[in-house]
Amino acid sequence: MQAFYALIDRLDRCDGDEKAALEAMLWDTFGTTACVLALDMSGFSRTVRAEGIVGYLARIRRMQQVSTPVVVSAGGEVVKYTADNLMAVFEHASQAVAAALEIRHACLAMREPLEVSIGLASGRFLYVPQTDCFGDTVNVAFKLAEDIAGNGDILATDIVLAQLGKDVAPSDWRHMEISGLQLRFAQIH
């Protein structure tokens, strides 16, 4: 992460041609094209107010214990857990979809089911392995998971579905603009 932030710091202090060269270096070093899986646990604020934070932390831990081996076995990498969110990266959309379906099934099948929503987006973004990801692809995945998907939903962008070769009926496509991002997505069952 130090190398990443060193480039960002240098970029922030320069202009013109040097800035363009540093930005190109940043993308050459940390740019990747992959599929981002964003998971959000539903009901955080409501549950914490009703039951307290400690009980919800136990739920978050169960989600982590379920999702980590699923992500790894599907060929992905857990980038990070932040509060009640998971960010994972997969080389192929099919791996991310398989992981999303298995995570959802495992969370809903628990004695005390965990409410989760998942967003999937593919594209180019900046990736600092096992640390963080930055870019529109990441933002879209999290917008789908946190702001649009309901409990148990897996929402995938048109790019993810095209990579899977899935035919989606025109009536199943949803279009939305959030935070200046134009989203075209459908639910995966």
What are the CB-based long-range contacts (under 8 Å, 24+) for 1-8?
A: 1/128, 1/131, 1/132, 3/29, 4/29, 4/30, 4/126, 4/128, 4/131
**99-118, pLDDT tens digit by residue?**
999 999 999 999 999 999 99
pTM of the model: 0.94
Query: What pLDDT, on a 0 to 100 scale, did the predictor assign at position 170?
Result: 82
Query: What pLDDT, on a 0 to 100 scale, did the predictor assign at position 44?
Result: 81
Sketch the domain layout of the chain as residue ranges.
31-187
**42-92, pLDDT tens digit by residue?**
888 888 888 889 989 999 999 999 999 999 999 999 999 999 999 999 999
Query: What pLDDT, on a 0 to 100 scale, did the predictor assign at position 128?
Result: 96
Instruction: Tell me how far apart the alpha carbons of residues 88 and 37 are, in angstroms, rounded to a whole number.
Output: 5
| DSSP β-ladder status, 154-157 and 132-134 | unpaired
Q: Is the pLDDT of residue 167 over 90?
A: no
Of 3.30.70.100, 3.30.70.1230, 2.60.40.1080, 3.40.50.1820, which CATH number belongs to 31-187? 3.30.70.1230
Query: What pLDDT, on a 0 to 100 scale, did the predictor assign at position 159?
Result: 96
The amino acid sitting at 180 is G
Instruction: Tell me how far apart the alpha carbons of residues 133 and 30 are, in angstroms, rounded to a whole number.
Output: 9
What rounded mean pLDDT belongs to the chain? 94
Find residue 17's DSSP bridge partners. none
- Helix, strand, or coil (residue 41): strand
**153-164, pLDDT tens digit by residue?**
999 999 999 999
Q: Is the pLDDT of residue 15 over 90?
A: no
Query: What pLDDT, on a 0 to 100 scale, did the predictor assign at position 47?
Result: 84
Q: Name which of 59, 178, 164, 79 is nearest 129 in CA terms.
A: 79
pLDDT band at 177 (very low <50, low <70, confident <90, very high): very high
Q: How open is the CA angle 122-145-45, to the nearest 5 degrees? A: 155
Residue 63 is encoded by which pair of tokens? 């989600």
